Amino acid sequence: MLNENHALIFDFPEYKQDIVYLNHKDEAFQTLSKQYHLLDYDIRELEVAGSPTDDEHMHQLKLQRANLKDVLFLQLKEHHDSTVSAS
């Protein structure tokens, strides 16, 4: 879908508390999260503007976003699982 917001909090609502916590307490997560959200914003802007870029460039941006999302998801899951097992 064009212009779909892929914010982590929308795509992983079950990890909302983990996202908030890690964005405040983990500098590495925060840096990657900011990079992810800026990339997502740039992609949506290109889609709204009628993709004034070639298909290969758009594909590379979306691949970069997917790779970042995978890394962030693994960190979220690891944090979530460690807090659940510590309870």
9-36 per-position pLDDT tens digit: 999 999 999 999 999 999 999 999 999 9
Question: 34: domain range?
Answer: 8-86
pTM for the structure as a whole: 0.88
Name the residue with higher pLDDT: 2 or 72.
72
Within-domain flag for 3: no
**What Cα–Cα distance (Å) separates residue 43 from each residue in 55, 67, 68, 70, 85?**
12, 14, 14, 17, 37
How many distinct structural domains can be found in the chain? Answer: 1
For the cut 80, the answer to whether the pLDDT of residue 54 exceeds it is yes
Contact yes or no for 44/4 (Cβ under 8 A): yes
pLDDT for position 2: 64
